[in-house]
Amino acid sequence: MGIDVVRAKPAKLRESRGRQASAANPTSTAHRASAANPTSATRTAPASCPAPEARTAPGAAQEPEDRRALRSKRMLREAFCALAEEQGIDGFSVGDLTERADLNRSTFYAHYSDIPDFLACLEEEIVASLARFRPSLQALSLSEYISFKTHHRPPGIAVELFSTLREQSLLLRILLSPRGDAAFAARLRDQLCADLIRSVLHAKYTRSPTPFVEYYIAYYSSALLGLIHRWLERDMRESDEEMARIMLSIMFLRPGDPIRPQGSL
């Protein structure tokens, strides 16, 4: 049920200045080639996204370069988050980004073709960090949820999920904000959140879902994404375990039940 991220070019035209500057720089040959072929810049999974260590040939001589690449990407990510909080994800150019990161444009173009490509890679990093939870969430049994209601101890995988969300919180808060990426929010809802909701349903409902079941999943998936968003907006005051307990308590809340997490007084 995942929704592909389709990024639109930023409305501002300052990006062209970055391409003109890179055209004067012989190190940006790869970028000029992609600009000459518009179809090469449109891809669902950007080729520039794999981590540098995954593309490095063995040998100690490559290690310093890898560390530099990782450092540059980290600096670009930090600069992106700072600018996006100020101006929105489409409000700045490559030049603005590299200036904030104190890097050359050629460093940016060594890894990415433009801002939408860079953003797509950041989003893929988040998706990859959360995708590892999908098999475990899908494998959760109803007995584990019943055990939670009895012992008030959330499954470890639910606690780990919020721990990972905390690690990605700065970028997630930006992407889920009004000036963020609505397509990414929908992707998070229809993959991670929907998987968690399906895990509590009996197999007979997931094997041949009726329209009612689909609406049920859509309703609670959106609610779960709202819970995550609210936690991020509150600067994650609750611990990962407490949030896992709150999430599961809400999922099993029945009309007339006290509105409080399972196990609290």
CATH number at residue 100: 1.10.10.60
| pLDDT tens per residue, range 219-228 | 999 999 999 9
pLDDT value at residue 48: 56
> Which range, of 112-121, 152-161, 166-175, 180-189, averages the lowest pLDDT?
152-161
Domain end call among 119, 154, 189:
119
Looking at the structure, tell me whether residues 46 and 157 fall in a common domain: no
Domain end call among 94, 119, 144:
119
- Looking at the structure of the chain, the number of domains it has is 2
Looking at the structure, tell me whether residues 136 and 223 fall in a common domain: yes
> Which residues form the domain of 108?
15-119
Quick check: 42 pLDDT over 80?
A: no
| pLDDT tens per residue, range 110-138 | 999 999 999 999 999 998 898 888 788 77
- The 3-class secondary structure across the chain, one letter per residue, is CCCCCCCCCCCCCCHHHHHHHHHCCHHHHHHHHHHHCHHHHCCCCCCCCCCHHHCCCCCHHHHHHHHHHHHHHHHHHHHHHHHHHHHCCCCCCHHHHHHHHCCCHHHHHCCCCCHHHHHHHHHHHHHHHHHCCHHHHHHCCHHHHHHHHHHCCCCHHHHHHHHHHHHCHHHHHHHCCCCCCHHHHHHHHHHHHHHHHHHCCCHHHHHCCCHHHHHHHHHHHHHHHHHHHHHHHCCCCCCHHHHHHHHHHHHCCCCCCCCCCCCCC
Quick check: 210 pLDDT over 70?
A: yes
**Confidence band for 250, pLDDT divided at 50, 70 and 90:** confident
Looking at the structure, tell me whether residues 242 and 169 fall in a common domain: yes
Compute the mean pLDDT over every residue in the chain, rounded to the nearest whole number. 77
